[in-house]
Amino acid sequence: MLNKKTIEDIDVKGKKVLVRCDFNVPLDREDKSVITDDRRITEALPTIKYLMEHGGRVILCSHIGKTKDKQSLAPVAKRLSELLNREVPFASDVIGEDAKAKADSLNDGDVMLLENVRLHPEEEANDPAFAKELASLAEVYVNDAFGTAHRAHASTAGVADYLPAVCGYLIQKEIGVMGDALNNPQRPFLAILGGAKVSSKIGVIENLLDKVDGLMIGGGMAYTFAKAQGGRIGKSLCEEDKLDLALSILKKAEEKGVKVYFPVDTICAEEIKADAETCVCPTNDIPDNLEGLDIGPESVKAFVDAIKEYKTIIWNGPVGYSELDIFANGTISVAKALAENKDAITIIGGGDSAAAVEKFGLSKEMTHVSTGGGASLEFMEGKVLPGIACLLDK
Ligand code: ADP
Ligand code: MG
């Protein structure tokens, strides 16, 4: 599917290989040296191990947090050392003396990690001088950071101006699975879209409407659709300036013969809190003092039954305020229904949806849980990702 060169298309023996990973792992709020979820590190291991086993001199780099956080990647160096069962030297800078000295002392099959590339504001600015300096550490560039592939930063795209550039296994896997689903799906094909806002999902809805057979709408965005159709939605989330858009999406779906699943009932509460009193209301008739925060029992049943019928399912956005247990039933039920549909290709894109599936312990039951929230969203919008566009064509 992916027409870009991969690490298997190049010879890395004896070469210094700069590898951009997505080691932007969550850290414990109190103790910033503790990694609370190392999935992004473990997902990078196949590429790292391949390069080491093939005699590359591997120089890893990544960002962590925002530029203003000035967070060190030291906890990642430690975790990588544990996972690879060998000391991973950690440079205290990115393009400074320490980075250069450590890179020069690598032998074939060795690996090291540079400090957080976002310690330099030039990273996000995609500054050419910075990109060139970073590139000068190596002879080959491998991008395996799917999570930042939608950003044109110095280490995710800029360096490819100065080095032969290919992708690693993670990017290959992400693009392969999602690209196949989008371009050549097993039918019928269902998209489940939720989350807070219609506005953040417009691009995805529009791109997917041309491809899917079914569209399931849940989450906060459902109320904009309900209001657009004349419903009464109380204090529920609503984007007043998207009412016309909601109607045009429904019209387009009808014209294209896409079956739309809409939650008929809703779990409501007066406010968003863990011990709120809840009740069930029709989604188009919510009292003024209440807010819709999850799909109701009838909708859960309808959604779960419908999910069984599909062979490809892409899910982006929780169908309720799933951070709180009392509003998580819809999202858990949808996640379980996907997990139980073993005939289907099931793909989770979107950071919050992936986190929800992980929290319910169902990640392993899905065909693919994307490591890139924003990147998977842009990919599903049909956009070109700069971190992939910059790589050599096959
Ligand atoms: P993803 O990251 O999977 O793409 P989004 O970021 O679009 O998902 O949306 C996730 C957020 O939407 C969560 O914080 C969730 O609480 C919120 N959300 C879902 N349903 C509702 C609702 N009915 N009211 C308010 N917020 C909601
Ligand atoms: Mg999100």
Q: Where are the domains of the chain?
A: 7-170, 177-380
Q: State percent of the chain over pLDDT 70.
A: 100
b/e map 25-57, b = 16+ CB within 10 Å: bebeeeeeeebeebebbebbebbbebbbebbbb
Distance CA 55, CA 4 (A): 22
Model confidence, pTM: 0.92
| Ligand 2 geometric centre to CA of 302 (Å) | 25
pLDDT tens digits for range 250-277:
999 999 999 999 999 999 999 999 999 9
pLDDT for 168 equals 98
If you classify domain 7-170 with CATH, what class do you get?
alpha beta
Atom of ligand 1 nearest to the CA of 195: 9
pLDDT value at 13 more than 70: yes
Note the pLDDT of residue 285.
98
**Same fold for the domain at 7-170 and the one at 177-380?**
yes
Q: Tell me the pLDDT tens digit for each residue of 110-161.
A: 999 999 999 999 999 999 999 999 999 999 999 999 999 999 999 999 999 9
**Catalytic site includes residue 374:** yes
User: Which of 201, 278, 280, 352 most suits a substitution to test ligand 1, by most atoms within 8 Å of the C-beta?
Assistant: 352
Torsion of CA 230, 236, 238, 244, to 10 degrees: -20
Q: DSSP state, 314?
A: E
Please give the residue that has the higher pLDDT: either 34 or 351: 34
Neighbours of 183 (CB within 10 A): 9
What's the confidence (pLDDT) of residue 2?
76
pLDDT band for 1, please (50, 70, 90 cuts): low
Q: How far apart are the CA of 13 and the centre of ligand 1, in A?
A: 46
Tell the burial category of 181 from Cβ atoms under 10 Å away from its Cβ (0-12, 13-18, 19+): buried
Instruction: Please report which confidence band the pLDDT of residue 350 belongs to, taking 50, 70 and 90 as the band edges.
Output: confident
Is residue 307 within 8 Å of 213, Cβ to Cβ?
no
Query: What is 177-380's CATH superfamily?
Result: Phosphoglycerate kinase, N-terminal domain (3.40.50.1260)
